[in-house]
Amino acid sequence: MPTFDIGPDDFLLDGERMQVVSGALHYFRVHPDQWADRIRKARLMGLNTIETYVPWNFHAPEPGVFDLDGRRDLGRFLDLVAAEGLHAIVRPGPYICAEWDGGGLPAWLLADRAVGVRRHEPRFLDAIGTYYASLLPLVAERQVTRGGPVLMVQVENEYGAYGDDLVPERQKYLRALVDLVRGQGIEVPLFTCDQANDEMLERGGLPELHKTATFGSRTTERFEVLRRHQPTGPLMCMEFWNGWFDSWGLEHHLAPAEANAADLDDLLAAGGSVNLYMFHGGTNFGLTSGANDKGIYRPIATSYDYDAPLAEDGTPTAKYWAMRDVIARHLPVAPAEELRAEYVAARSAPVLDVELTTHVPLADVLPGLLRAEPRTYPHVPTTDDLELWSGFAVYRTGLRADDAVLSVAEVRDRAVVLVDGEQVGVLDRGSHTFAVALPARAGELTLLVEDQGRVNYGPRIGEPKGIIGPVRTAVRTLEEWRAGALRVEDAPALLRAAPDAAVTVDGGGAAVAGLHRGTFDSVAGADHFLRLDGWTKGLAWVNGELLGRYWSLGPTHTLYVPGPLVRETGNELVLLELHGAASRRASFVGGPDLGVTEQ
């Protein structure tokens, strides 16, 4: 029977010292047909382990739903890790952060304000118990003790950075999680993970759980801090930050390969174990990206390239080769011959233009995307009131000629303001724009409200979304509303199902707000990079798959299109443009453009 243990100084695999050299690879940010390729490249770089978070809300998008198929097939992902001869570390939360929508916590659960977020509260713990019972059996059967790849499982995540509960109450919560995890047959070592900070390590763990730290440099100093709180056992950096994430409106982050490699060399030379965060970042497909709010709301970009060793499209970077050279100085790596046989130098992606010649104006799109008939409210509702956990909603009410100005207490996170179908402004949380001038006429006010990602870190986790009242004009409070949730994921189907609503135009000219469609032929199975210069903000689909958000705000100028989505002929590109574009043309370009950097 295989074993994995925490020894006095080292991790022990079947009784022999194991220096864990792991890399973060999130199955939920990679197309399933590309999992095997990314895992193989991890082994070829010298990694012996793959780490992944598990986002609870990805598997449980609605109450009573738990999905383990397709993109959510964690079991298949772990089997591919094992087939490549690698081990695995699983981090199931319940909270993961990961720049993911809501940090992985289901919005439908936290909509009940009585639920205690990340604390010892019965409703929260009961929900976690249901989650673990649905997820952890597949992890349990893949533990190293049962012949599988899983070495360790994490309990919570960076808990020392959250909340102000006293340590005994915090430990009561963590021990409840341990009991729930062990109750699902998890027998491998459990661990916690916190920043290499005395206060956080003290607040975030348990004496009986192995502690690990997160940092990206100054290994000796960070390990000294960790050792104060972990007197025996192996030292491990569970998140070695070799890059960083991007937020809309800021620069693209880079971390120099040479500095990363030198810091990794120091860590391995000290005998420490490591998990590169990230080895391969991937993409926040669909509407899955989260947000940070430290006084200014910053939604996370669609690309999660992270300046990782393996780029968003799976191309090994200079950092990949530099880190492989470092690992080879400390541990066996794949033979150079195998590496040369497997590695294919980056090729230019197909280059072509697409004319989006069919469109439906935004005002005509909204009724067709409603999930149900709008409901009437005597007050402005949140999107949580609408049972909308991600995406877009429509709010409507009547205006008088003397209203003059629309003012909201807060918008979470952005709203296009229309009067009788005509755009008159935008409410925006990021810029604190909470007022818009109105035309001097009576009419119907429509707010198209976008949830740009639920906060994934800090005290604002779990907050409601939508329009936060009161909503006022120059002369009164607006209290009578009709509101409904949209099914934006169905936008391409709407175009196909309602051809009479679509307008076909010749190429050229400006594009109005609304749905736009074009078709193209290309190289089947080839990765593509969609560039939307001149378009403002919206969503993009290829062959019915929602790639994610685009925004002229940047930094990202291209959207990654995984090769498995592309066929030889008859590909469909659909855009939901919220404002308008300089032309009806989109482009596929030869490579990614992730934007300006601070260097």
How many C-alpha atoms does 386 have within 13 Å on its Cβ side?
A: 33
With a CB cutoff of 8 Å and minimum separation 6, the contacts of 122 are none
Whether 158 sits among the annotated catalytic residues: the reply is yes
Say which of 239, 312, 355, 450 is annotated catalytic: 239
Question: Residue 405: what are its φ and ψ, rounded to 5°?
Answer: -140, 140
- Structure tokens belonging to residue 394: 């429509």
Whether 239 sits among the annotated catalytic residues: the reply is yes
Per residue, the 3-state secondary structure of 484-517, as one string, reads: EEECHHHHHHHHHHCHHHCEECCCCCCEEEEEEE
Residue 89: strand pairing partners:
51, 152
Say which of 158, 355, 450, 577 is annotated catalytic: 158
Do 248 and 299 contact (CB within 8 A), yes or no? yes
**Cα(567)–Cα(518) distance, integer angstroms:** 15
Q: How far is CA 328 from CA 45, 46, 323, 417, 515, in A?
A: 9, 7, 9, 57, 51
Q: Please state, as a whole number, how many other Cβ atoms lie within 10 Å of the Cβ of residue 40.
A: 18
Q: Pick from 352, 321, 361, 288: which is nearest to 511 by CA?
A: 361
Is residue 437 within a helix (H) or strand (E), and if so which, with residue range?
strand 435-437
**Encoded amino acid at 16, one letter:** E
**Cα(584)–Cα(575) distance, integer angstroms:** 10
Question: Is the previous residue joined to 200 through a cis bond, with omega within 30 degrees of 0?
Answer: no
Active site residues: 158, 239
